[in-house]
Structure 1
Amino acid sequence: MYRVIGTVKSRAFRVLWMLEELGQPYELVEAFPRSEEATAHNPLGKIPALVDGDEVLTDSVAIMTYLADKHGGLTAPAGTAARARQDAITLWLIDELDALLWTHSKHTFVLPEKLRLPDISSTLHKEFARNADIFAGMLEQSGDFIMGDHISLPDLLAVHCFGWAFGAEFPALPDSIKAYSKRLRARPAFRAAAGR
């Protein structure tokens, strides 16, 4: 059984949702960043970490990719053009949505107050809104899910980022993204992970 080190209200949620979608058993070990438990599994004190037997894996997207490949779900096969397209969207989401949200968090509550740049928020909000519009356009071309007719890793990542943006009071998302997020958040696997 997998062990997930982290909290539901963190990037660990992505891993929990992935495990639920894949139908894999796991235990959630609640640990906050820089806690003793988190540091025992990642010297940087970051969450999440995934314990799989003797292996300890870190970084939410690396863990998701590992699980998708290992269990053959929510991903295109490695070495295919479809996988390259999926990876391109995944990396774009990390660069253009996740990174903006993380920078906002750092300058809101993570960094010591003297290092924070509160004025950066307006720029981050504008960039996020621009990128959300781009994602909405990609979604319009792709169909029900960002990769077409099946849910995949980038959908989980995108919906988590959009939820994070909502919680951080970023500008309103396009209606198409709201509908997309609502539909994916209604999935039994999402609800099971959120209820942990």
Structure 2
Amino acid sequence: MYKVIGATKTRAMRVMWMLEELGQPYDHLPCAPRSDEAKQYNPSGKIPALVDGDDVLTDSVAIMQYLADKHGALTAPPGTAARAHQDALTFWLIDEMDAILWAAAKHSFVFPQEQRVPEIKDSLKAEFARSAAILSERLDGPFLMGEEFTIPDLLATHCINWSIGAGFARVDDKLGNWAKSMRDRPAFKAAATREG
């Protein structure tokens, strides 16, 4: 059985949601980043980590793609143009949404007080809003890659949820309604309400 390392209100939620979508059982160790528990699985203390047998995997996106490939679901097949398009969107989401949110978090509570530059957050919020508008314009169907739920849907929804919690401006109605439909998925609800 898989084990997910990391609190639900972190990127570990992505992995938990993925496992719920795949119908795979897992244990959950809801530890905080940089905690002694987290460092047992990743020396840097970063979460999430996924334990699969003797292997410990790190980085939420790498873990999600590993699980999708291993179980043959929620992804286009490797070596196809569809997969290249999916990967391009996944990398764009990491660069243009996730990285912006992480930068804002670092200047809010991650960095020591003396290293924080609170003034940067306004420009980060503006950049996120620009990216959200691009994503909304791209959305043309029930899912980002067309008719099938894939990793980019999960990743984008998690970023939108994170932006709400971080006090960023709401995305437009089209994207907001789409994100709500993703949060209404039974697998999302199961992961979000999981306790340890």
TM-score > 0.5, shorter chain as reference: yes
1:71-111 residue CA offsets vs partner (Å, 9 max, x unmatched): 00100000000000000000000000000000000000000
Q: TM-score, normalised by structure 2?
A: 0.98
In 2: Cα distance, 1:148 partner to 1:56 partner: 32
Give the secondary-structure state (helix, strand or coil) at the position aligned to 1:51.
strand
Which residue is 1:3 aligned to? 3
Matched letter for residue 102 of structure 1? W
**1:166 maps to 2:173:** no
1:122-160 residue CA offsets vs partner (Å, 9 max, x unmatched): 1001000000000001103xx110000110000000000
Of 136, 139, 143, which residue of structure 2 is paired with 1:145?
Answer: 143
In 1: Cα distance, 2:117 partner to 2:102 partner: 13
What is the 5 A alignment of 1:1-196?
A: 1-140=1-140, 143-196=141-194
**Aligned-pair Cα RMSD in Å:** 0.5
Matched letter for residue 66 of structure 2? Y
In 1: Cα distance, 2:95 partner to 2:33 partner: 22
Alpha-carbon shift at residue 43 of structure 1 (Å): 0.7
Matched letter for residue 106 of structure 1? K
Give the secondary-structure state (helix, strand or coil) at the position aligned to 1:105.
helix
In 2: Cα distance, 1:109 partner to 1:34 partner: 13
In 1: Cα distance, 2:108 partner to 2:67 partner: 32
In 1: Cα distance, 2:179 partner to 2:170 partner: 13
Quick one: percent identity of the two aligned structures? 61
- Where has structure 1 moved over 2 Å in runs of 4 or more? none
Alpha-carbon shift at residue 52 of structure 1 (Å): 0.2
How many residues are matched?
194
Alpha-carbon shift at residue 172 of structure 1 (Å): 1.5
Alpha-carbon shift at residue 117 of structure 1 (Å): 0.4
Give the secondary-structure state (helix, strand or coil) at the position aligned to 1:41.
coil
For structure 1, the 5+ residue unaligned runs are none
In 2: Cα distance, 1:182 partner to 1:32 partner: 27
In 1: Cα distance, 2:170 partner to 2:152 partner: 21
Matched letter for residue 90 of structure 1? T
Matched letter for residue 131 of structure 2? N
Matched letter for residue 158 of structure 2? H
